[in-house]
């Protein structure tokens, strides 16, 4: 149960920022005793992998805070974040990466299930993020993008650490993130409804 909560938390975190949960696991395994990655996932703690993830994270942090560029980044991340979520959930659930050496065992042993769950969780969170961001950019003339992006990055980092150290609190974090996205999406719908009403009123006045 705790492994599932950890995996869900990391996958949710990856939906906000693909590299933070992977980097967190790699660093915590490499430099602390808080994480002990399974043998087949030790590559996450490799020095080169950690360095590459750090560079990609730096690029993501900057790109996601610039209006218009953040939209392009979200399009690219449609493939990256779900993949990262699948990897994070798989590592957390001790899934063995035998897909290359023995694809038959990978699928027949249901070892793909945690990875698929992680992909779906991250894809859902990413979709909500990509839907909510235009609302922020439109309502704040772009000035809200860096603020919201920073909040998302902090949320991703905190949720990653919580998922690893206090997995029982993961549900609280997930609920908070869902509530935030739902608020933004409702605001977007309300704004569209107000625009339609205003256009209708203008048309009626002209007639």
- Phi first, then psi: give them for residue 95, nearest 5 degrees: -70, 135
State how far the alpha carbon of 92 is from the alpha carbons of 36, 56, 95, 134, 166, in Å.
Answer: 10, 22, 8, 33, 13
Classify the C-alpha dihedral 181-2-90-158 as positive or negative: positive
pLDDT at 99: 39
Number of domains in the chain: 1
Spatial separation of the C-alpha atoms in residues 73 and 189, rounded to whole Å? 24
Give me the domain span that covers residue 115: 2-206
For range 79-90, the mean pLDDT: 88
pLDDT tens by residue, 138-175: 777 777 788 888 988 998 998 888 888 877 776 676 77
- Gyration radius of the chain over CA positions: 19
Mean pLDDT score, 53-72: 89
How far apart are the C-alpha atoms of 116 and 91, rounded to whole Å? Answer: 12
Chain segment 185-205, per-residue pLDDT in tens: 677 667 766 667 666 666 665
Distance between CA atoms of 123 and 86, rounded to whole angstroms?
10
For position 9, what pLDDT does the model report? 85
State the pTM of this model.
0.73
Lowest mean pLDDT among 37-51, 71-85, 87-101, 115-129: 87-101
Residue in 50, 49, 52, 63 with CA at minimum distance from that of residue 17: 63
CA-to-CA distance for 158 and 155, rounded, in angstroms? Answer: 5
Q: Phi and psi for 36 in degrees, rounded to 5?
A: -125, 95
């Amino acid at each position: 149960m705790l492994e599932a909560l950890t995996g869900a938390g990391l996958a949710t975190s990856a939906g906000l920022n693909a590299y933070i949960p992977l980097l967190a696991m790699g660093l915590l395994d490499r430099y602390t005793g808080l994480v002990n990655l399974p043998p087949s996932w030790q590559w996450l703690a490799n020095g080169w992998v950690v360095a590459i993830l750090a560079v990609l994270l730096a690029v993501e942090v900057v790109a996601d805070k610039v209006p218009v560029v953040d939209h392009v980044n979200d399009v690219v991340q449609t493939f990256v974040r779900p993949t990262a979520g699948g990897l994070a959930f798989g590592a957390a659930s001790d899934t063995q990466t035998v897909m290359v050496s023995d694809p038959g065992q990978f699928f027949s042993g249901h070892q793909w299930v945690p990875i698929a769950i992680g992909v779906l969780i991250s894809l859902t969170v990413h979709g909500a993020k990509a839907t909510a961001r235009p609302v922020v950019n439109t309502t704040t003339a772009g000035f809200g993008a860096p603020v919201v992006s920073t909040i998302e990055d902090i949320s991703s980092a905190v949720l990653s650490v919580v998922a690893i150290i206090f997995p029982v609190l993961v549900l609280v974090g997930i609920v908070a993130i869902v509530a935030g996205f739902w608020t933004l999406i409702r605001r977007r719908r309300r704004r569209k409804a107000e625009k339609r009403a205003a256009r209708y009123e203008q048309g009626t006045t002209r007639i």
